[in-house]
Copies of this chain bind each other. A is one copy, B any other.
Amino acid sequence: MKYTFGVDIGGTEVKLGKFDGVNLIKKYNIKTNSEDNGKYIIKQICDFISEKIGEDELVGIGMGVPGPVRDGFVFVAPNLGWKDYDVKKEILSYFPNIKVYIGNDANMAALGEKARGGAMEFDSYVFVTLGTGVGGGVVLNGNLVEGAFGGAGEIGHSNVEENGRLCTCGLRGCIERYSSATGIVETANIKRVGRNTRLNDEKVTSKLVFDLAKENDEVAVEVVEYSMNLLAITLSQISTVLNPEAFIIGGGVSNAGTYLLDILEKKFMEKAFNPQKNTKFRLATLGNDAGIYGCAYSVK
């Protein structure tokens, strides 16, 4: 048999998937060894893969990295200690005869949704993850857009409010500060003050906001509408530039499901320029496995 490995590298753990084409055979997790600026990580991964299958069984390795990547070269990945690192070349030094593709982790997750998830029916789409932050990936005609300096798909840092909330990146008004789980909680904590809302009874989480909104808690509904309205503005801007077939919405916040998707789509359509009105909205379906699926798919 011939197998591909999908490898999603995070700051604390590496997720690996052994794939037959796009079929996931087995998942593994190993602890990320970030000693000495992460110089052992690739060796650690290649050794692990060598233990699992024979070299003649290995067709390719796809890898997702938390940082900007272009043509297999990682510009920087602070969580791993990497800087200006030709990762593709190093993997090929262990396995000279396989196919290797290295990508940004959110971009790989975007591709994963094409392999087996919410984007299967589309060739050109934009994937948006609403988690602690807001991430994304752009797929056009089935291929990832990496960007000139590996910075494509960094949707979370698209400005949506001039001089708005301060972002961890140092800029102000990034959409990440409004439509991520963190941003939604921040909005809730502002709006609930002095109001009659069940948001004052429990620790506020993004899940609580959506759960209460579904039960028509007035303040929770306001918070959801506010965060989804700003996200719809960002998506409408993306749509005027790329006119993708669809937006695929993932990340923990998207567990609010069709309730979230319907509000987002409605607000998007209010702002959509005419050719953009056919844009479809779908939920991501692979959750945390999107990365390894996309990595495996990338070397197809």
Contacts and interface: CB of A to CB of B under 8 A. Distances in A.
Interface of A: 68, 75, 124, 126, 136, 138, 140, 145-159, 162, 169, 171, 174, 233-234, 236-245, 271, 273-276, 278-279
Given A159-B236, A233-B162, A150 B241 contact: no
Contacts of A174: 273
Contact of A244 (B147, B237, B274, B279): B147
9 contacts: A124-B147, A147-B242, A151-B274, A154-B241, A155-B240, A169-B273, A169-B274, A171-B271, A241-B242
Contacts of A136: 241
B240 A151 contact: yes
A273 B242 contact: no
Contacts of A275: 68, 75, 147, 149-151, 154
B234 A149 contact: no
B279 A243 contact: no
Most buried by B among A154, A236, A244, A279: A154
Residue from A150, A239, A278 having most chain B Cβ neighbours under 10 A: A239
A238 B241 contact: yes
Given A75-B275, A140-B140, A140-B145, A157 B240 contact: yes
A245 B147 CA distance: 8
Contact of A240 (B154, B162, B240, B245): B154
A241 B271 contact: no
Top 8 closest pairs, chain A to chain B, by CB: A147-B243, A151-B275, A151-B243, A157-B273, A148-B245, A158-B240, A152-B243, A149-B275
Given A171-B271, A271-B171, A151 B237 contact: no
B273 A152 contact: no
Contacts of A157: 240, 273
Q: Give the most central of A174, A239, A275: most B CB within 10 Å.
A: A275
Contacts of A243: 146-152, 154
B155 A241 contact: yes
